[in-house]
Amino acid sequence: MAQKIIIDADPGIGDALAILTALLDPSLDVVGLTATAGSVSGIQATRNLQFLIDLVDPLKHPRTGQCERPAVLSRQAAEEVPTRHSFLGSHGLGDVTVNVPDLHNRRESTKLIVDLVREFPHEIKLLTLGPLTNVAAACELDPELPALLDSIVCLGGVYHASGDITAAAEFNIWADPEAAAIILRLPTAKTLITLNHSGAAVLTFEDVDLLSELIEGTQNADVLTSMLQFAIRANRQDLAFEGIALHGVAALAVAAKAEAFTVEAVHADVETSGQLTRGMTVVDRRRISRGKTNVDFVSSIDEHGVIDYFSRHFRRAAR
């Protein structure tokens, strides 16, 4: 039986690649896509989700949740703190123009998460690819929600590594550390894939060229190739990084159990007030910890398997 999943995201090219993969993975039943504000505004995230669904037109369309919060990074902040979240193009998907009508039957993301989990109690895995604002708000709206979820998989945080938005913090946690702290303290089964492991699977220039050749002439080739080419160009020019790290796809692979990975049970929390460390994911590494383990950190992942997982479904998305 396919795993029911809700994906909460702020797409972004990286999130878009993961969402397209999920929509075409037969092992997953994507019952909901919920927009959150982060790399792009909530309104743009909502439109990008609609665009991605229409692009591949899956047999079963997920319900879509909308968000109206502004983007976390302002233009000025993006220029001061260059990260992979800062170079996404005018609509978040590179040079791709997102032109979709706004939703007629509007469902707010937080409410949709609650409604879907209530509809399928103990069946839904929640995958978060952006800031955790929606999930924290959903738990406040329905305090029974954590007990009704199958589990949560979060893309975010750093472990034994530097952040990408500050020296100590990764973007998704930094964007709303209070919400992240709430989620880490929930009694629900949780898995966190941090920046240093989500970034292990990297598409090289050669990979992008090969994928572009393989889908040439297909229905969605122009859109998909444009996103890949924009991402690899921006990473090289602005971040001096030679490739595209498949952060979102790696998180999806963990949620779908599509590729091999290992986890380490830890006691973790999030710094919410430090001037230099706000948004830092703090792991208690003492031999005698005062806190019980509360989250599984992904400690290794088959990066080649993640690339293969993405490549298979990328070709399907093109057709």
What mean pLDDT, rounded, does the chain reach?
93
Q: What angle do CA 266, 201, 252 make, to 5 degrees?
A: 65
Helix, strand, or coil here: 230? helix
Distances in Å between the Cα of 43 and the Cα atoms of 34, 96, 99, 207 are 11, 16, 12, 32
CATH superfamily placement of domain 3-318 = Ribonucleoside hydrolase-like (3.90.245.10)
The better pLDDT of the pair 99, 307 is held by 307
**Segment 299-309 mean pLDDT:** 97
169 φ, ψ (degrees, to nearest 5): -125, 145
73 pLDDT higher than 90? no
Whether the Cβ atoms of residue 110 and residue 59 lie closer than 8 Å to each other: no
155 alpha-carbon distance from chain centroid: 6
Whether the Cβ atoms of residue 7 and residue 30 lie closer than 8 Å to each other: yes
Both structure tokens of 104: 């007629």
pTM score, whole prediction: 0.95
Q: Where are the domains of the chain?
A: 3-318
**Shortest CA distance to 269 belongs to which of 141, 192, 180?**
180
Report the alpha-carbon distance of residue 76 to residue 132 in Å, rounded. Answer: 23
Both structure tokens of 314: 């990328």
241-254 core/surface letters (b: 16 or more CB in 10 A; e: else) = eebbbbbbbbbbbb
Report the alpha-carbon distance of residue 135 to residue 141 in Å, rounded. Answer: 10
Binned at pLDDT 50, 70 and 90, residue 121 comes out as very high
**Segment 283-288 mean pLDDT:** 83
Report the alpha-carbon distance of residue 35 to residue 9 in Å, rounded. Answer: 5
Strand 124-128 with 3-9, pairing: parallel
pLDDT recorded at residue 150:
98
Amino acid identity at 139: C
pLDDT recorded at residue 106:
78
**Segment 206-222 mean pLDDT:** 95
